[in-house]
């Protein structure tokens, strides 16, 4: 079949077959190798990024250790936690603390109720529900007193209503900022569980 072709046609056919063979070799060998090298380059870039990140963290190791030591010392002091040898004592301490904050703000504590404690790891969440009355300034001072004091206290829920007082319209207009508010809030703090042993 190929013997009928002229010399030039046979050479062209041979060159075409050789080119086809080279193309197949390239497709089967070279392209997969190139793809593998490309994937390796991406992996190398990712590992270099990680190495840089870990090197940065390793450089901050002494700073992080110093911060950890400060936190451990602060934690061992326990001033951020409610005091008390038992849940009941810690709850009573929380009630007394809230009563003090409300009275200092010029409010009147009307009721408190202890809520069930909740275990959270090595800590116990102590919560109370309280209701007090006072004007807007008293509310602001109570919120400030809770937020910026030790032990750390959290306001979980709060409801504020204007207290309805029977007065004439003129007296209400004169009262203005002195309106009485009825505030109901749920305050919680944490107590470290004592190690049993």
pLDDT value for 4: 73
Average pLDDT over residues 169-197: 73
Which tokens belong to 156?
A: 């979980």
- Mark whether 91 and 23 lie in a shared domain: no
- Mark whether 43 and 107 lie in a shared domain: no
Per the domain annotation, does 68 fall within a domain?
Answer: no
- Mark whether 107 and 185 lie in a shared domain: yes
Per the domain annotation, does 65 fall within a domain?
Answer: no
Q: Does the pLDDT at position 96 exceed 60?
A: yes
- Mark whether 54 and 106 lie in a shared domain: no
Confidence at 196, pLDDT banded by 50, 70, 90: very low
- Mark whether 94 and 8 lie in a shared domain: no
Q: Does the pLDDT at position 159 exceed 90?
A: yes
pLDDT value for 87: 87
Q: Does the pLDDT at position 171 exceed 80?
A: no
Q: Comparing C-alpha atoms, which of 85, 89, 98 is closest to residue 128? A: 98
Backbone angles phi, psi at 131, to 5 degrees: -130, 130
Per the domain annotation, does 79 fall within a domain?
Answer: no
CB atoms within 10 A of CB 85: 9
Confidence at 30, pLDDT banded by 50, 70, 90: confident
Per the domain annotation, does 35 fall within a domain?
Answer: yes
pLDDT value for 40: 87
Q: Does the pLDDT at position 74 exceed 80?
A: no
DSSP secondary structure letter of residue 178:
G
Between CA 25 and CA 169 the distance in angstroms is: 98
| Alpha-helical runs (H) found in 26-163 | 31-59, 61-77, 87-104, 136-147
- Mark whether 52 and 116 lie in a shared domain: no
Average pLDDT over residues 17-29: 86
Confidence at 76, pLDDT banded by 50, 70, 90: low
Per the domain annotation, does 40 fall within a domain?
Answer: yes
Per the domain annotation, does 161 fall within a domain?
Answer: yes
Q: Does the pLDDT at position 41 exceed 70?
A: yes
Q: What percent of the chain has pLDDT over 90?
A: 35
- Return the CATH number at 171: 3.30.70.60
CB atoms within 10 A of CB 88: 12
Number of domains in the chain: 2
Per the domain annotation, does 111 fall within a domain?
Answer: yes
Per the domain annotation, does 22 fall within a domain?
Answer: yes
- Mark whether 108 and 182 lie in a shared domain: yes
Using CA atoms, how far residue 33 sits from 19, 39, 41, 113, 187, in Å, is 20, 10, 12, 74, 66
pLDDT value for 197: 38
Q: Does the pLDDT at position 139 exceed 60?
A: yes
Most confident of 67-81, 123-137, 156-170: 123-137
CB contact at 8 A, 117 and 189: no
Confidence at 164, pLDDT banded by 50, 70, 90: confident
What's the whole-number average pLDDT of the chain? 83
Instruction: Provide the edge-to-edge strand list for the sheet that holds 108-120.
Output: 108-120, 123-134, 181-192, 154-162
- Mark whether 175 and 103 lie in a shared domain: yes
**Domain with 45 in it:** 1-59
Using CA atoms, how far residue 186 sits from 25, 87, 151, in Å, is 76, 17, 16
Residues 6+ apart with CB under 8 A from 153: 94, 97, 146, 147, 187, 188, 189
- Mark whether 103 and 53 lie in a shared domain: no
- Mark whether 143 and 180 lie in a shared domain: yes
């Amino acid at each position: 079949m190929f013997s009928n072709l002229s010399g030039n046609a046979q050479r062209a056919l041979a060159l075409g077959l050789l080119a086809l063979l080279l193309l197949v070799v390239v497709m089967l060998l070279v392209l997969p190798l190139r793809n593998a090298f490309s994937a390796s380059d991406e992996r190398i870039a990712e590992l270099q990024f990680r190495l840089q990140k870990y090197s940065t963290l390793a450089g901050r190791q002494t700073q992080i250790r110093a911060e950890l030591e400060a936190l451990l010392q602060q934690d061992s002091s326990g001033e951020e936690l409610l005091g008390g040898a038992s849940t009941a004592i810690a709850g009573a301490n929380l009630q007394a603390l809230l009563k003090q904050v409300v009275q200092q703000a010029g409010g009147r504590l009307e009721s408190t109720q202890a809520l069930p404690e909740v275990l959270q790891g090595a800590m116990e969440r102590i919560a109370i529900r309280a209701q007090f009355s006072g004007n807007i300034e008293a509310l602001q001072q109570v919120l400030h007193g809770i937020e910026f004091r030790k032990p750390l206290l959290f306001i979980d829920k709060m409801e504020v209503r204007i207290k309805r007082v029977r007065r004439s319209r003129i007296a209400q207009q004169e009262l203005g900022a002195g309106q009485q508010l009825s505030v109901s809030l749920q305050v919680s703090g944490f107590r470290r569980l004592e190690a049993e042993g």
